[in-house]
Structure 1
């Protein structure tokens, strides 16, 4: 197959592209965010185009989506549906406005749809109190908590879904075969979408060419889920789909989903090994916040703004939980804040023949 590739450039240099097979990409800006833009995709069908994601809810983003679709010969009023790969605002934010303009349906996986319903059912005060208590239990110092909870810059929750998807479903795309591949980790209901009649995979944030998606756990101290374990299993799954071209939500188009998925898995396995070594060196158990402050990020911890410290803590918590599931560390009972301690008897070689795959949750 012929594959398109666009290098990562500033948003101002991006343009809508005809990718062939009745697919267009439209860059939609994320104002004030270093990611720059979301790549929204339009798939043609006899009943009208279906969008994969919609972009950030902002007037500039709406204009870019509307005008970009026009370059492709698409009136936004003709959109038949919007499939949201996951509920985050740079993907789902404009879905409601597209629905208002066209009467299109909005579809997302049932797990993310349930989260959206929950978020729409509670006010900002309740969400703020929830976050403050979560940070306290993670061991965030009092001086950090007010900034983290008040400067998150979050948007309103996205529009509720009209249709709830499950793994293996075919999206309502007449004349085409667009199949749902449930890939939890980045969110519980993240999906990739396999355009089977074109050998392409819309990867959302699951597999990106140059960066790795945020894998966090919320609340930070949950002990009944394993998002990183889910993510690693999902990487393995997309790697079995064959030689597919990737159409990601950020950065650029690339040709080999399986190879990149393997790279991302290796990145997290190495990160887990380093984290276990870090805890093993400490005489005293560490809180989630203390752990995050000791891990390596793209900037020193002291330079991370409050919102990014909170995200780093969520990612640290997901890695701690994955190690706990593997039997590499233990959570001290009754801790408030919760603390973790490495088990010295565990080594990376103890992962077993499955190469580090998760075992059943306790």
Structure 2
């Protein structure tokens, strides 16, 4: 397995594309469809004697263009099968428009968040320059679901659905001993103990990142109860207890369960901060975002209020807040924040912190 790192100044830093040279030459994710990144991916593959036309399978962790943008072009070059979770498939095969290309969805969302006109204009301008030409060609996809196995010929990838950042985001778990040219983080052998507890690693896309907390709420506005969905996904990562995670951005994560627990704790802390903002009076998602994150630019004009909305929505569903139009009002000034998250999440965070 080879990691090819590609530049990305718009989203969460350098993109990772993973090359698996099994019986089926496979890419996990593809990066964004812009000329410089396309050229870098071609060059990175060429170092291993691979061209776009040689790729037999593309496995996508989710629909975002910095992960799926080149899937259609690679498929056109050599007929590669493209796998993506059924919830994200319509955004890869072109049946649905992404948010950046859907003015009606933008208007509804921005109104719900209380976003002012000048911020809408700046975000729309960003979509016009950076956000609409990066999706690449539509691809014919093979939809997959949780628990489904993708056979690469000697390497099996198990689909693990981890919604939150997007509706269809998936990790792909594998036995690293089966991957040609890859050294497991925890070495396996023929000893009985290893067979009983074999090593397991996973490609996690943006479900788990080493330096940032993946955005919820703004990254995919289709997700229902985004914070609750993501908390459950983090618990699932903790429970799987993989030996290593290969994220969609930056470096390998050697203690995925610990990192997932850290992110769970981060969201508990952010929930407390949101409650603190509302102690001064009712506020919209945009106003809460400004209190949490300050001034925002580019894609963060979407992600900031989206993150605030995810927490406000979570608190409203729990009866801590009430919503009047676009503003949220605190009705329970002293809730138990721990009770707002799955008990398994709290146990995991406390055990691994």
2:4 is aligned, of 26, 29, 32, to 26
Aligned partners of 1:28 and 1:56 also within 8 Å? no
Distance, in Å, in 2 between the alignment partners of 1:349 and 1:289 is 22
> Per the alignment, do residues 123 and 183 of structure 1 end up closer, same or farther by CA in structure 2, a change over 3 Å counting?
closer
Correspondence 1:176 to 2:155? yes
Shift of 1:74: 2.4
Distance, in Å, in 1 between the alignment partners of 2:207 and 2:219 is 18
Correspondence 1:37 to 2:14? yes
Deviation sequence 1:64-111 (CA, Å, 0-9, x none): 112211212323321111011011111000111111112101110000
Deviation sequence 1:38-88 (CA, Å, 0-9, x none): 110011222x21110001101221121122112123233211110110111
> Per the alignment, do residues 163 and 238 of structure 1 end up closer, same or farther by CA in structure 2, a change over 3 Å counting?
same
1:323 is aligned, of 300, 315, 332, to 315
Distance, in Å, in 2 between the alignment partners of 1:190 and 1:247 is 14
Correspondence 1:192 to 2:171? yes
Deviation sequence 1:202-228 (CA, Å, 0-9, x none): 0101111111111115897x9x92111
Deviation sequence 1:243-294 (CA, Å, 0-9, x none): 4211111111121111110001100111011111221x123x2111111111
- Which of structures 1 and 2 has the larger relative contact order (alpha carbons within 8 angstroms, sep 6+)? 2
> Per the alignment, do residues 208 and 102 of structure 1 end up closer, same or farther by CA in structure 2, a change over 3 Å counting?
same
Q: For structure 2, list consecutive stretches of 5 or more residues without a partner in the other structure.
A: 178-199, 347-353
What TM-score do you get using the length of structure 2 for normalisation? 0.83
SS at match of 1:151: helix
2:57 is aligned, of 56, 77, 81, to 81
Deviation sequence 1:321-362 (CA, Å, 0-9, x none): 111223221222xx2xx221112254225617944869xxxx
Q: Which residue of 2 aligns with 1:165?
A: 144
Q: Which residue of 2 aligns with 1:348?
A: 336
> Per the alignment, do residues 317 and 71 of structure 1 end up closer, same or farther by CA in structure 2, a change over 3 Å counting?
same
Aligned partners of 2:261 and 2:345 also within 8 Å? no
Shift of 1:129: 3.7
Aligned partners of 1:132 and 1:149 also within 8 Å? no
SS at match of 1:330: strand
* Greater helix proportion: 2
Correspondence 1:132 to 2:131? no
2:287 is aligned, of 263, 286, 290, to 290
CA RMSD of aligned residues (A): 2.6
Shift of 1:238: 1.2
What TM-score do you get using the length of structure 1 for normalisation? 0.81
> Per the alignment, do residues 161 and 258 of structure 1 end up closer, same or farther by CA in structure 2, a change over 3 Å counting?
farther
Correspondence 1:60 to 2:59? no
Shift of 1:161: 4.3
> Per the alignment, do residues 196 and 228 of structure 1 end up closer, same or farther by CA in structure 2, a change over 3 Å counting?
same
Distance, in Å, in 2 between the alignment partners of 1:350 and 1:197 is 36
Aligned partners of 1:217 and 1:227 also within 8 Å? no
Aligned length: 320
Aligned partners of 1:195 and 1:201 also within 8 Å? yes
SS at match of 1:111: coil
SS at match of 1:246: strand
Q: Which residue of 2 aligns with 1:211?
A: 212
SS at match of 1:144: helix
